[in-house]
Structure 1
């Protein structure tokens, strides 16, 4: 007689997840249970998580700014701390803002901003084809997603018109990438993590071009780390933008804002 494995219970899920090193095993068990379509799907999701895949890749989504964002395998997972960058952008955006989201990944930042403000004209770019496919689903009819490097694929008519320029660029120094948790190091694209020798290489490229794309009074917002903040602020200021650093202790987030003078 064929034997069938008993259905996975909440307690069993917690035990397996905890043994695999998941710190928030109870929360993850609840998410797996609520997301799985059937017992077989639940078992498959559990095995993927135990094997070390990021929870968001296992679930197929992440919560960001109160939205459910699709997250495909191999695509950078939006971090909760980056919600702080979006809050700053919402506070700065004028009515019917023109918004550009560089290094958009899943498109979470642009979608969150466009969902918070009426009449936004949203454009987003990413160099990773998998990210572009994912972002196009998430952004939907709220904007347009282009495949290409930073500003390169954007329509030229946007030059001098951008009110809010979101740039969640990679900022991990190359030598520190190997120290990242395995979930990021193994399962997220290196291009979304590695910021060069000091972590600021991609940011410098963005800053060099940003003044030509920003409208008078428009702002660039870049996430960075606390230890990089002073150098990042100096770099943004050297481009002619008025730079300042804003910090959230709650989310352990640091954002550099550079505003083009009117």
Structure 2
């Protein structure tokens, strides 16, 4: 038998040396996963048996090699939902919860006006944004699209039974049947410049699908396509929200401003005060 406290302390030291950003958190999460509980319900005064210690050692070694924590435990929390994630799908980040929350508020605005909100989530990945909208605004009609075949399988799993209309396809030509009818359009597109490959965190660069990360020489190819699609899908006065890199707080909104099709083009910070997502309202 081995003490839990000693196990977690030793694992945290190893993860810190490996460059993991949150070593104590991850070490405790992995042990909770092995023991079938949550980190909040993990008493460190108890001991683990040899089989549990061996399973923990395997997971710590994989995290030490920078395999994402969410892949090791098989899930990721996002706002009020839990998503199944693994190889082949982008792991949802806490920063994107702010964009989803903005979308929830805008959908509720439409509902308060007496109409049923129509919401579209482009580049849905795991289905995180779409599932949040369907869960928090159950009256909304939610549509989602994903290009990657691998990610689409994960989205199918996460959105099963949610009522979300999930389709496989490209954001550039998605949902022609919804042209001019959408109230709220949300997207977490790829936005990393190809030249920034080496600067991307190892967990993302080695394990997230590159289709969900990189978007041309300046990182704006998908955002430019999104602007065109949003103008096609949204009804007059409809709104769009899109995540971008923290260094794109000027250039990403400029994609929308320069077309003359949008008003109220605004950039928003994340909880760390970094530029994170833009919003705009269609004005034909």
| TM-score (normalizing by structure 1) | 0.89
Cα shift at 1:225? 2.7
Aligned to 2:276: 254
- Unaligned residue ranges in structure 2 (runs of 5+): 37-50
- Unaligned residue ranges in structure 1 (runs of 5+): 1-5
Report Cα offsets for 1:181-212 as digits up to 9, x if no partner.
11111111111111211111111011122111
Aligned to 1:46: 60
Cα shift at 1:114? 1.6
Match of 1:171 among 181, 188, 191: 191
- Assess if the C-alpha contact under 8 Å between 2:247 and 2:275 holds in 1: no
* SS of residue matched to 1:163: strand
- Assess if the C-alpha contact under 8 Å between 2:119 and 2:141 holds in 1: yes
* SS of residue matched to 1:104: coil
Aligned to 2:226: 206
Aligned to 1:120: 140
- Assess if the C-alpha contact under 8 Å between 1:177 and 1:193 holds in 2: no
Aligned to 2:104: 90
Cα shift at 1:134? 0.7
Q: 1:234 and 1:24 mapped to 2: Cα distance?
A: 35
* SS of residue matched to 2:250: helix
Q: 2:230 and 2:270 mapped to 1: Cα distance?
A: 28
2:14 maps to 1:19: yes
Match of 2:31 among 33, 55, 77: 33
Cα shift at 1:244? 1.9
Judging changes above 3 Å, is the alpha-carbon distance between structure 1 residues 231 and 24 closer, same or farther for their aligned structure 2 residues? Answer: closer
Q: 1:247 and 1:122 mapped to 2: Cα distance?
A: 24
Judging changes above 3 Å, is the alpha-carbon distance between structure 1 residues 14 and 215 closer, same or farther for their aligned structure 2 residues? Answer: farther
Q: 2:266 and 2:228 mapped to 1: Cα distance?
A: 18
RMSD: 2.1
Q: 1:245 and 1:79 mapped to 2: Cα distance?
A: 21
Structure 2 counterparts to residues 1-262 of structure 1, below 5 A: 9-20=4-15, 21=18, 22-36=20-34, 37=36, 39=52, 41-93=55-107, 94-95=110-111, 96-142=116-162, 143-154=164-175, 156-239=176-259, 240-251=261-272, 252-261=274-283
* SS of residue matched to 1:110: helix
Aligned to 2:46: none
- Assess if the C-alpha contact under 8 Å between 2:98 and 2:270 holds in 1: no
**Residues paired across the two proteins, number:** 256
- Assess if the C-alpha contact under 8 Å between 1:8 and 1:43 holds in 2: no
- Assess if the C-alpha contact under 8 Å between 2:143 and 2:165 holds in 1: yes
